[in-house]
């Protein structure tokens, strides 16, 4: 593992772009009124970026009422006008990609190269869903003779959608929810985490710059209290949430109390299954990056379990350890850095605690990393990319989501055993299959209890394709026409003359 010291200028430029207010409501910036005080710390340096008063339940009520009014203005526009405004919003995101990406990097530590790519991907989501805005269709079922009447369906928006997103990729996370919600004719109250609020707030200003109605997208960062107030608000008609399982259960319970539909994208413990016919060095290198370095392991769909067919097990382990040792850990604004810090000090200590507990229990054998970075990176929240081998498939290390740069490697002997191990968790978000055998690839992909399967590639989240979890990884999908339908309700009209 190579460490890289901080590059001051890009981070300082990003800090200068921090919004001065804590909420964006009805087209204007506002400070929170009576919410909790939050001190935001740059995870790369440990230095305070500032103190903000977060929104409160009163701000939530204001944001929802403003969105409800704006939604009426939005749905009154011609569909082609809504399409053009969403295309302009996509253009605004592209034009301001540098600023958005730098805010993501500053607020939660994602390497700038990755945050820039994610921001451009977010713009593509808005462009894609803009194309749906004027193509929402109903049907005419053949239930009546044409001479006696007509039966038809309409797809209608819900109204105000509560979109609750995590800190680990805020711009792409908001795009997955806001783009289809707006294309379907809804308004959105967006609640980013207080750990990653700044890019979402800046996005709010781009919505205004694109000419969408004031209040159509309101941004209210905050903690669980703000999320609870939003989920309980009587004028919120649908909730879309990405986050951890415990918070997802709270959202589900709040929604169930009002019979409000939800789209939930929750945690994961995804597995990469590597068969012995692969290019070992290449596949092992990709597995090492996906399982540890990518976003410092802070991704629900990342394959943090690596299942390896026994004939190539030792070779894969050796290659993974070698690849992890070459990961450049350091200042996320440095173009040469592949892995930045984790989001904050609490996350850093939690991940290190998971590693210590796994060592003490004997869940597996630690062969790389496992410690906090020191030296020039000591002040930041850096955890070394960590690898355990010979991991017990039933152990907490193989069953529980770490949400950090910790990879668990497990051997298997047969295709059936690999599938059994991969499916042997409460999660079902993603699966990865590595093989040159096309028949095997299809068999295993079909057998995996996961809403998303990638074969011989990194994870891809194109806006054209649906993505969503099974089991405790959630319900509903984001992406494609299926993702649009989540934000529409069906009305049947039966006319007889």
Label residue 46 left, alpha or beta by phi (over 0 means left) and psi (-120 to 50 means alpha). Answer: left
> Which of 3.40.309.10, 3.40.50.720, 3.50.40.10, 3.30.70.100 would CATH assign to domain 271-461?
3.40.309.10
Assigned fold of 8-266+473-494: Aldehyde Dehydrogenase; Chain A, domain 1 (3.40.605)
Q: What's the pLDDT score for residue 420?
A: 98
Half-sphere exposure of 121 (CA within 13 A, CB side): 19
Q: Is residue 346 classed as helix, strand or coil in its secondary structure? A: helix
pLDDT at 9 over 60: no
124 pLDDT band, cuts 50/70/90, is very high
pLDDT for the residue numbered 64: 98
* Torsion angle defined by CA atoms of residues 264, 463, 403 and 378, in that order, rounded to the nearest 10 degrees: -140
pTM of the model: 0.95
Q: Is the pLDDT confidence value at 3 over 70? A: no
Distance CA 277, CA 274 (A): 8
Q: Which residue has the higher pLDDT, 8 or 267?
A: 267
- Average pLDDT of 127-139? 95
* pLDDT tens sequence across 74-115: 999 999 999 999 999 999 999 999 999 999 999 999 999 999
pLDDT in tens, 167-201: 999 999 999 999 999 999 999 999 999 999 999 99
Q: Residue 31: its pLDDT value, please?
A: 84
Pairing state of beta strands 149-157 and 488-496?
antiparallel
Q: Is there a shared CATH topology between the 8-266+473-494 domain and the 271-461 domain?
A: no
Please, which pLDDT band fits residue 57 given cuts at 50, 70 and 90? confident
CB 216 within 8 A of CB 187: yes
Tens digit of pLDDT for each residue in 428-462?
A: 999 999 999 999 999 999 999 999 999 998 878 89
What's the pLDDT at 7?
Answer: 54
Dist. CA 162–CA 189, nearest whole Å = 5
Residue 408 phi/psi, 5-degree rounding, is -110, 120
Which residues participate in catalysis according to the annotation? 177, 265, 300, 478
The span from the CA of 180 to the CA of 455, in Å, is: 27
pLDDT of residue 16: 78
Q: In sequence order, what are the beta bridge partners of 330?
A: 4
Q: CB under 8 Å to 497, separation ≥6 — which residues? A: 148, 149
Ranges of each domain in the chain: 8-266+473-494, 271-461
């Amino acid at each position: 593992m190579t460490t890289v010291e901080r590059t001051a200028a890009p981070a300082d430029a990003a800090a200068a772009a921090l919004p001065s207010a804590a909420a964006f409501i009805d087209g204007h910036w506002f400070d929170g009124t009576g919410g909790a005080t939050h001190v935001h710390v740059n995870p790369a340096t440990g230095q305070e970026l500032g103190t903000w008063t977060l929104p409160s339940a009163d701000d939530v009520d204001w944001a929802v009422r403003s969105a409800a009014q704006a939604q009426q203005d939005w749905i009154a526009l011609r569909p082609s006008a809504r399409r053009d405004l969403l295309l302009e919003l996509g253009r605004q995101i592209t034009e301001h990609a540098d600023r958005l990406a730098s805010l993501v990097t500053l607020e939660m530590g994602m390497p700038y190269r990755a945050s820039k790519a994610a921001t451009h991907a977010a713009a593509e989501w808005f462009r894609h869903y803009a194309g749906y805005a004027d193509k929402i269709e109903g049907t005419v079922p053949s239930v009546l003779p044409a001479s006696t009447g007509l039966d038809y369906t309409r797809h209608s928006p819900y109204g105000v959608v509560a979109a609750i997103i995590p800190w680990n990729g805020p711009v792409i996370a908001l795009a997955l929810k806001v783009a289809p919600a707006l294309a379907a004719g809804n308004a959105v109250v967006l609640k980013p985490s207080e750990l990653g609020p700044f890019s979402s707030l800046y996005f709010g200003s781009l919505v205004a710059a694109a000419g969408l109605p004031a209040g159509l997208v309101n941004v209210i960062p905050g903690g669980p209290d703000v999320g609870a107030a939003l989920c309980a608000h009587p004028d919120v008609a649908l909730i879309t949430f990405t986050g951890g399982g415990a918070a997802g259960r709270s959202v589900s319970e709040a929604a169930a109390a009002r019979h409000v539909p939800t789209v939930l994208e929750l945690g994961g413990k995804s597995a990469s299954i590597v068969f012995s016919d692969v290019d070992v060095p290449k596949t092992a290198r990709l597995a090492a990056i996906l399982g540890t370095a990518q976003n410092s392991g802070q991704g629900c769909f990342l394959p943090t379990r690596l299942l390896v067919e026994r004939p190539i097990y030792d070779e894969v382990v050796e290659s993974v350890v070698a690849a992890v040792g070459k990961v450049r850990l350091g200042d996320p604004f440095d173009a040469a850095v592949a892995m930045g810090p984790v989001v904050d000090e609490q996350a850093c200590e939690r991940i290190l605690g998971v590693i210590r507990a796994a060592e003490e229990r004997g869940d597996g054998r630690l062969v790389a990393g496992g410690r906090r970075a020191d030296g020039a990176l000591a002040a930041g929240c850096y955890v070394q990319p960590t690898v355990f081998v010979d991991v017990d498939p039933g152990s907490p290390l193989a069953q529980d989501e770490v949400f950090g740069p910790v990879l668990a490697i497990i051997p298997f002997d047969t295709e059936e055993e690999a599938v059994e191990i991969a499916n042997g968790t409460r999660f079902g978000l993603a699966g990865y299959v590595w093989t040159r055998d096309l028949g095997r690839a299809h068999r295993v992909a079909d057998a995996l209890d996961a809403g998303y399967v990638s074969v011989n590639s990194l994870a891809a989240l194109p806006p054209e394709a649906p993505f969503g979890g099974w089991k405790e990884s959630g319900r509903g999908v984001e992406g494609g026409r299926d993702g649009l339908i989540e934000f529409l309700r069906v009305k049947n009209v039966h006319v007889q003359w």
